[in-house]
Every structure is written in structure tokens, then in C-alpha cells.
Structure 1
Amino acid sequence: MTSLKNELLGTWKLLSYIEVPIGGDDSLFPMGKNPYGLLMYSPDGFMSVQISREERLPYASNDKLQPSQDEMLSSLQGYIAFCGKFKVDNSSAIVSYMIKSSLFPNWKNKVQRRKIDFEGDILYLKSTEPILSNGQYVNSYMTWQKTDRVLDDFQERIRKVYQVQS
């Protein structure tokens, strides 16, 4: 029997991110309808997630520490990032994240849990407890796809770039 941890290991590309208000309002797309994201689980028990809104404002100054107020707001509201340790409970199919660093400082040293479900190379993660998002409590639903094939394509493109330069 394969453990859920072994199935999670590797890199996953975000396909969708939806928040459903617990009050029954319409579903929300906090990072837009075409977000980009990567979720990584390492064999030594560390994880990292990065999710970005597609249409964030670029910094006119081209200096990461010199954004305008609008650029900073767009950057912060259009990005989710955290990393830390993870642990999987096979019997309940829940992964727990022990967050050590987060763009949102309130999550540092907190635990978040996600219900795990698989369908082939697709991973479904659902929050187990509501979180506060834009003034209301929501459950999050994320769909991820294993990136093994995508990484092979990337490696092939890199190989071609180096052949052209040689």
C-alpha cells in the first residue's frame, strides 16, 4: 500500500483555486480565474506553495524595494506564499502544514490542514477549517496537476537553448 505522503511528493501545478463562503454566497476566485501556482513536497517533509494572480502590476521602477502604493497593493493582494514542514495522516487523508514562513505574517507558526483526494495525476485539496478571506469565512478548494511531464518539457527547452548557444 502506497502512503499518501509518497503520492504527494514532487511538484504540482495549480489548475484552479476557488473559495466558497460558508454563508452560502457565490464562489470566489481570489487570484482570478487563471492563477499560476506551484506546490512542492520534498521527501524530507518540507513543503512550499506559491500562488499568483495573473494580472499583478509590474513595478515601474524595476526595483523590488521601490514599488508605488498601487504596485505594492497589487503585489501583496495577488500573491500567496508559505513554506514549512508537512505531515500526512493516511487514515483521515489530511495533510497538515506547520508554517514557518509566509507572505501573510499571521500564518507564521500556525498549522493549516487540507483534505487530500487524488484522481490520476490530479490532486484535490480542500481546507478542513474555514479561513478569513476578504472579510468573510470561506473554505478553499484547489486543484493541482503533477508536473513530471511539464518538467521534462522544460528540460528539453533548456537543452535546446544550450545547443543553440554552443
Structure 2
Amino acid sequence: MEPLRTRLVGSWRLADWKVFSDAGPTDPPLGPAERCTGLLIYTPEGTMSAHLTLKDRARFTDASLDGGSPQEKAAAYSSLIAYAGTWDLDEATDTVVHHVRIATFPNFVGTGLKRVCVFEDADTLKLDTPPMDMGGEARASYVLWRRTDGRNV
């Protein structure tokens, strides 16, 4: 079997996303996974970028780069989770750590987000996330990714 690093490098598109509470599976913060899209990139040099967003985001009335009413900006912020930084692995536990340098959610910056890697096959990656605070409750989640060449995100 190829090393975990070799299997992770490349581009991945969002296939599924679930959050778990004491009551069972729930939708993620952006809403049902079928309404979302995403892109995850791991470079061989150790850089990573993750973007999860609603597929149909409302456009701003003012199309200039600094446009958008406060309400439009709030809606745009609440429809996107994005961060980037570096990554490293613990091969023994199949864990990848995303060392966040920039993020839409400022509390991620400077943290190491651990994800357990489960390959369902060579082109399907499930990242299991330890419990995180969501809505005042610690909730575990997973994001399922499918390998992509970047053209079908």
C-alpha cells in the first residue's frame, strides 16, 4: 500500500458531510451536504487549502469588490468555511493535521485541526473530525471527499 502522504496529495471535491450530536446525525453548519460543494487540496510541499460552501450563494447587489450590504456580507460569510496553511501526518494513526494560517473563522488561525484519514478506495477519502463546539455542543463529524482533477468541483 502507498504511504498516506502519497495517497493524500492532490485535489479532492466534496461528496458528503455529516455532523453527529447526541440525537444522531445532523446537517453541517452550512446545511444539507447536497446543497454544498467544496475543494480540498494537498500539495507535495506540505501546503493545504480547504473550502466548503453552499452551491447557490446569493450575489451582491453591488458587484464591486468592496460592495455588498452588511446583510449580504453576513449571508456570504455564513455560507462559506475556508482555511489554508500547512499539513503534516502521523502515519501510525492515519492522522493529518491542518496547521491553519488563514481562515474565514478567525478562531481556527494558529490551531492544528486533526483529521483521521479513512480511504474507502484510492479515490474516496473520509476525514473524521474529533468533536468540535457547534451550537454549544461538542459534535464529531466527517467530510467525504472524491479525488478530482479540479475541473469537476
Same fold (TM over 0.5): yes
Q: 1:122 maps to what in 2?
A: 124
Contact conserved, 2:128 with 2:142, CA < 8 A, in 1? yes
Q: Matched residue of 2:64: which SS?
A: coil
Q: 1:32 maps to what in 2?
A: 31
Distance 1:82 1:126 in 2: 17
Deviation, 1:29, is: 3.0
Q: Structure 1 stretch 95-104 or stretch 24-33: which is displaced more? A: 24-33
Contact conserved, 1:17 with 1:31, CA < 8 A, in 2? no
Contact conserved, 2:86 with 2:99, CA < 8 A, in 1? yes
Distance 1:108 1:58 in 2: 27
Contact conserved, 1:45 with 1:87, CA < 8 A, in 2? yes
User: After TM superposition, what 4+ stretches of structure 1 lie above 6 angstroms from structure 2?
Assistant: none
Return the letter of the residue paired with 2:129. Answer: S
Residue by residue over 1:1-49, the C-alpha shift from the partner in whole angstroms, topping out at 9 and shown as x without a partner, is: 421011000000001122112x335412322222110000000011000
Q: 2:54 maps to what in 1?
A: 53
Contact conserved, 1:31 with 1:54, CA < 8 A, in 2? no
Distance 2:47 2:28 in 1: 27
Structure whose residues are more often strand by fraction: 2
Q: Matched residue of 2:39: which SS?
A: strand
Higher RCO (C-alpha under 8 Å, 6+ residues apart):
2
Cα 1:57/1:135, change in 2 over 3 Å = farther
Contact conserved, 2:11 with 2:41, CA < 8 A, in 1? yes
Distance 1:64 1:132 in 2: 32
Cα 1:134/1:74, change in 2 over 3 Å = farther
Cα root mean square deviation, aligned: 1.8
Structure 1 gaps, min length 5: 155-166
Equivalenced residues, count: 150
Distance 1:141 1:109 in 2: 22
Return the letter of the residue paired with 2:144. Answer: T
Q: 2:92 maps to what in 1?
A: 91
Q: 1:100 maps to what in 2?
A: 101
Structure whose residues are more often helix by fraction: 1
Cα 1:49/1:62, change in 2 over 3 Å = same
Structure 2 gaps, min length 5: none
User: TM-score if structure 2 supplies the norm length?
Assistant: 0.89
Q: 1:158 maps to what in 2?
A: none
Contact conserved, 1:124 with 1:144, CA < 8 A, in 2? yes
Percentage of pairs with the same residue: 27
Distance 1:91 1:99 in 2: 22
Distance 1:65 1:72 in 2: 10
